Chains A and B, each alone.
Chain A
């Protein structure tokens, strides 16, 4: 078992399961956190992530297969997607893929799921396909406000980590998103994104 990444909330190991490469994601205890809060968060997210990983596959979102869930040490054993995070691809490629990402997010929302952590590191480009990973903060929700929170987050990430290509990438994302959720929902949700932004600190008011 090899540690390949210390993520924000979990350690990611590469391992083998039934003769194929697999990923073990362990949410380890965080000593800085109050212990009852800590175990609650770890347990809840492990359950939610494995449930939603299975759910999204049912409506055609490319995502890792869940092999095994261990609630005792809050870990998930899943299929390895040996591609590259979209974050690390070239700028023209990110612009191009933004449309597909928009479509994928649209599909999630249409099926009542908010991802909760839409960053360019959570989309893996593998064999000309984009896989969605890291559903730890996901929720089953059809509330347009929740979907708007998702959109705002990816917008914030494009605006910071990919500032140079923000405009074309965001435009493509929205095109892809709109093509899946339809105009009515699109208008409603992007309006809510502006609402959330206007509630932010020192937002430009008028």
Chain B
């Protein structure tokens, strides 16, 4: 079975084709164009959606060419229905609707966060993991129970990705700033005490953000080192609490911040202590991509025939824990 997936929740416009045979999926192509705001600035929804519109046909045709398939060969088309930025979401949805109605292909709206998890499971082979989803849009600890992903811990304010991006932008980096911060952090080992806020399995980063900004006025390097050490230690502690509470024997980390090596290193240590297996989604598929949407759409298609065009909604705040997973 051949599926096309379209991702456009934030800065990435991406299309991917996956071939599904039984429980296995093979990514035939995954093409992306990423909107880059100016240094020190954040994502502008209107500009991002304009970027997506301008690049959509190119990405789509490149993706089909690379996979060596024609639109007519596709069995389903899926798109990210949310959560994300409204103007951006609409671009992906329009492309999907056009294909679906013109070529009469079944269409599936997919929850973006669920996409991260399902693609992670496909690529890492994790079966029943505690999931740490860390990205610009999410910071959540999840476990699957009674047909739904349940939240065992999450951020009470901003996400880990937002923390790093907003801090990075304040010292002049371009979003996404995770990589720059990580590089600068390796050149310091001078820890400056910062607010550490773990509330049960939940974390809160807003105080840490303000405090780090003032540390950066004295030393950017120490600030980068200390923000990573503090924020990741908070995440690691929340993970430990959730592992010990849920007694899961697997931990899977997905989302853009999964690319950070220091975070991986810390979580690996956590897993060792709890006798849990550690899975990280491969770097290339950690961030937003069409594959995550495509694969989840293909899984849905096992039990659903697609939705009618009038129900092909986009929802800016579509929480993962409201999605029923029946496949």
Contact = CB atoms under 8 A, between A and B. Distances in A.
Given A32-B269, A121-B245, A9 B157 contact: no
Interface stretch (B18-26, B51-59, B99-107, B143-151): B143-151
A156 B152 contact: yes
B170 to A, nearest CB: 21
> Which of B83, B138, B140, B273 has its CB near the most chain A CB atoms (within 10 A)?
B273
B240 A201 contact: no
The bracket for how many chain B residues form the interface is: 35 or more
Given A36-B191, A156-B202, A202 B150 contact: no
* Centre residue among A199, A201, A203, A204 by max chain B CB count within 10 A: A201
Contact of B150 (A7, A37, A159): A159
A29 B157 CA distance: 29
A87 B140 CA distance: 22
A40 interface: yes
Interface size class of A (residues with CB under 8 A): 35 or more
Interface in A152-206: 152-153, 156-157, 159-161, 163-164, 196, 199-205
A34 interface: yes
Nearest to B269: A32
Interface string A28-69: 001111101110110000000000000000000000000000
Given A31-B269, A32-B269, A119-B200, A163 B146 contact: yes
A114 B23 CA distance: 47
Nearest to B202: A153
B83 A202 contact: yes
A202 B240 contact: no
A32 B236 contact: yes
Given A41-B196, A202-B317, A34 B240 contact: no
Contacts of A116: 199-200
B237 interface: yes
Contacts of A156: 151-153, 200-202
Contacts, number: 114
Interface string B182-208: 000000000101001011111000000
Contact of B318 (A40, A157, A159, A202): A202
A151 to B, nearest CB: 11
A109 B144 CA distance: 32
A201 B269 contact: no
B274 A137 contact: no
B1 interface: no
B273 A6 contact: yes
Given A6-B273, A7-B244, A40-B193, A160 B233 contact: no
Contact of B236 (A33, A87, A160): A33
Given A199-B157, A204-B317, A163 B229 contact: no
A32 B270 contact: yes
B155 interface: yes
Contacts of A77: none
B246 interface: yes
Contact of A32 (B146, B233, B245, B318): B233
Contacts of A37: 191, 193, 196, 229-230, 233
A165 B257 CA distance: 34
14 contacts: A8-B243, A9-B240, A30-B236, A30-B269, A32-B270, A33-B266, A37-B229, A41-B196, A149-B156, A153-B201, A161-B145, A163-B150, A199-B157, A201-B83
Given A8-B244, A161-B246, A201-B319, 12 more contacts: A9-B241, A33-B229, A117-B200, A117-B241, A137-B200, A156-B200, A157-B245, A159-B150, A159-B151, A160-B143, A202-B137, A205-B317
